[in-house]
Structure 1
Amino acid sequence: MIKPIGGRSRPAVLRVLLETQFGLFFAGNGLSLIGSWMQRIACGWLVWEWTASAFWLGVLAAGDLLPVLVTGPFAGVAADRWDRLKQNRVAQLASAAVAMTLAALLFLECLDLVWLVVLVTIQGTLVAAIQPARLAMVQQMVAREDMGVAVALNSVSVNLARLIGPAVAGAMILKLDIYWLFVLNALVTLIFVWVLGRLQLLPRTSVPSSDGFWRQMLAGFDYVANNRAIMLVLLALLVGGAFVRSILELVPAVAALTFDNTAVGLAALTAASATGAVGAAVTVRRQKVASIPVGVLIWWGIGALSALLLTQADNTIVAILCAVTLGASITRCLVGTQTFVQLTTPDGLRGRTLSVHGLIARGSPALGALAIGAAADRYDLPSTVLVTSIVMLVLVLVMLGPTRRYASQAAEAD
């Protein structure tokens, strides 16, 4: 372990990155995520080029995100029963294989819309299957008091990838055959597999339960159902994911509203939302556990207003500023929600609780993108987002009081 220079304690961010195993994980995971975002942009671009349909963009998002509805509960039990690190390595190897399959089919000119959605769905299933183990093992890399910082740094990693990945993807689409994006994603994923092999996690703080698989799964759902504070923040995540975060899955359609060149608009809005997200993540500070859920609700309200203004904007500068705010608000919500769940859940139940969190976090944007995309094709995107944003704002106002009360109770119990 690296020692502080001159006997002085480093700032929390530097301490987590330089003095713990999380720093190595952060680097490898970030590189892999850049490749993943390149692949997502390539897939979205192909679908828009083939169909020019917001609905089919929603179908693609559903294929990527909805498998968590099936695999999430099983993945949560697996994270609490078995070696979390080995699960991550196997899943990343399989992800590299999927990327190479996409590259080969494109190279051979055998890839069509159906096969693209199928392979993206397989990729989404792998991500969903490993997400609880990936999130739960963060507490095996950092001290409890640094958990919020680690979650925020994870968000920085995701959003830097969302900033860098699309930029690299856009340049490669202009200069190279698109299948090279999938090849590069496979290569960086294999690098991450190597990084995972070098990690040495701290021992688990609890012994995995000897109960049967199904009994453990039900225990996880029972814990969430009886913890009202967690239920409320997850409800906000459900609606916020469907009505606010889903807009990021429809960026090609949003770009077509404001920009003369959709490809330029896609890159600009994606980069803008990622910039806002990174800025929000790096400015996260330690806060009392009881105050986290209320802050999450307020940021969901800001996100709803940003989504509304983004789809109504008739000026590219206004649209970019709205995308920055939207990215920042969504990140604050995701960081706050995950931090609260991590800190108020016992280690023996953490994987299963995070699987419910992941089910909602990944499933709600997919369902929202599918529904909003279908409504946008029938009516129009600005009107659809106007309705969903109003619903989100009303929910925030209704939930503020109960959320403040139950979050205080959960913090005292912890």
Structure 2
Amino acid sequence: MALRQDFRTLMRNPSFVLFTLSSLASSLAYWMLRTTSGWHAWQLTHDTAWVGIVVAADMIPAMLVGPWAGQLADRLDLRRILMASTMASVVLMVSTAAMVGMGLASVWLLCAIMMTNGIIAGLSQPAHHAAVGAVTDRPQMGTAVSISSILFNVSRFIGPAISGIIIAGASIQASYGSVALVMVFSLLGLFLVRFRPTARMTGQKGIINGLAEAFHYIMASPACAPMFIIFASAALFLRPIGELLPELADLRLGGDARTLAQLSSAMGLGAIVAGLTNMVGGIRGVVRLSFVGTGIATLAGLGLGWSASTPVALIAAGFYGGAIAAGGVSIQTALQVTAPEAMRGRIMGLFGMTFRVAPALGAIGMGALASRLGLSQTFTLGCALMMAVLVVLSRQFATAKRGIIAE
């Protein structure tokens, strides 16, 4: 009953609906770009290490701009930050499509493009997370986060499929151009939405002190601390498996861009189910979802690494995508609901930095290892390390469950 009432309240809120539609377009463009750039890197080099480097080029800049981005989200107008970053993304994708069409594509140019995209995304991500609190009231925050997660993963299901069809039926250039077009729709939604005033960060705290304050808040929480450690570990040891799907599709399954799109879409479908699970379970279920979800993702990662056929790989990808999304949604919900309004930008900035930087570092390491040890052995190593973290933190499970209810 409470879930139904929250949903009705949110759907009657024009600002939330417009922001959600804009976010859906942005997420769709994100997953289209991930699939396009990953396949483009593989097509240019046929080297797993280079695919990992291109992924890192997109994600590592978040580590450099993240501390500033969190402060900006807590101090400046959220709508202006989001509109400026979206316009920059449109210009970048149009330029990329033009350069590919002129035959200027090289792996070094692709790295530079993805690094620029990473800077733009790194600057906007904390503002985007904080903006959820500016279009919805606190009682509906958990449901709003779950809806956002579901739609993010709906785009994860649809985006790769669209890119795979465009690449296979037209060209890489057309796929980059399509990303730009989708971002235009996101920009239109942001132009129409109106954010309510929120508490802003005051004082003259430096970047490091402001970030340290947010980190201390997370680690002092009996519930959020173990969940955040699990999330960060999964981002480093498990999520890179998803970044190396181009090699899995080609080398192990003998497929092409369509196979990559099918694997990515299977992951997205599983993640949609995870979002629905989180919505039904509510804030009380996020701790269990974090621990259990990550454990299932670990086993599914092993299944992906040793899959010998596309149907088996698709099943494993569905479980992997759903379970790893469950862990991410659980900590995001906990942080959004419990974070002080004037600190939400910095807290979600830390979440965003971890979400982008840890998989990038993991993709570099696992990509290099896969070139030497093989894809299956590398996936196994990452899953073993993640399982070790879960075993160590399992002793804090009961304390975390009590903590989330208290907070």
Q: Which TM-score band (shorter chain)? A: over 0.9
- Asked whether 1:309 is paired with 2:303, we answer yes
Q: 1:342 to 1:409 in 2, by over 3 A?
A: same
- Residue pairs, 1:211-226, within 5 angstroms: 211-214=204-207, 215-226=209-220
* SS of structure 1 residue aligned to 2:279: coil
2:67 to 55, 66, 73: 73
Structure 2 partner of 1:187:
181
Deviation at 1:131, TM superposition (A): 0.7
Structure 1 unmatched ranges of 5 or more? 1-7
| 2:271 matched residue in structure 1 | 277
Q: CA deviation at 1:146?
A: 2.0
Q: Which moved more, 1:21-30 or 1:347-356?
A: 21-30
CA distance in 2, matches of 1:65, 1:120: 8
Q: Which residue of 2 aligns with 1:340?
A: 334
The answer to whether the 8 Å contact 1:274/1:327 transfers is yes
Cα shift readout 1:191-234 (whole Å, capped 9, x = no counterpart)? 21121111112221x34312334343443333334335433222
Q: TM-score, normalised on structure 1?
A: 0.92
Aligned mates of 2:279, 2:182 — CA distance in 1: 31
Rounded to whole Å, the distance in 2 between the matches of 1:264 and 1:289 is 38
Q: Cα gap change, 1:295/1:174 in structure 2, threshold over 3 Å: closer, same or farther? A: closer
Aligned-residue Cα RMSD (Å) equals: 2.1
**Structure 2 residue matching 1:285: 3-state secondary structure:** helix
Q: Which residue of 1 aligns with 2:35?
A: 41
1:261 corresponds to which of 255, 258, 282: 255
Q: Following the alignment from structure 1 to structure 2, what is the Cα–Cα distance between the partners of residues 223 and 257?
A: 44
C-alpha distance after superposition, 1:84-137 (max 9, x if no partner):
111001011111111111111111111211011111011011111111110011
Match of 1:210 in 2: 203
What is the Cα deviation at residue 385 of structure 1?
1.3
Distance between the aligned counterparts of 1:71 and 1:22, measured in 2? 27
TM-score normalised by L of structure 2: 0.93
Contact 2:291 2:327 in 1 (8 A): yes
Does the CA contact (< 8 Å) of 1:304 and 1:389 recur in 2? Answer: yes
Match of 1:247 among 241, 265, 287: 241
1:39-118 equivalent positions in 2, closer than 5 A: 39-118=33-112
Other-structure match for 2:291 = 297
- Decide whether the 8 Å contact of 1:298 with 1:396 is kept in 2: no
Q: Are the counterparts in 2 of residues 32 and 185 from structure 1 also a CA contact under 8 Å?
A: no
Q: Please identify runs of 4+ aligned residues in structure 1 that moved more than 6 A.
A: none
Tell me how many residue pairs correspond in the alignment: 405
Q: Deviations over 1:139-168 (max 9, x none)?
A: 121222322221122222222222222222
More displaced stretch, 188-197 vs 347-356: 188-197
Looking at structure 1, the residues matched to 244 and 157 of structure 2 have their Cα atoms a distance apart, in angstroms, of: 16
Q: State the secondary structure of the residue aligned to 1:142.
A: coil
2:273 and 2:334 map into 1 onto residues whose CA distance is 20
- Per the TM alignment, residue 341 of structure 1 is displaced from its structure 2 partner at its CA by 1.0
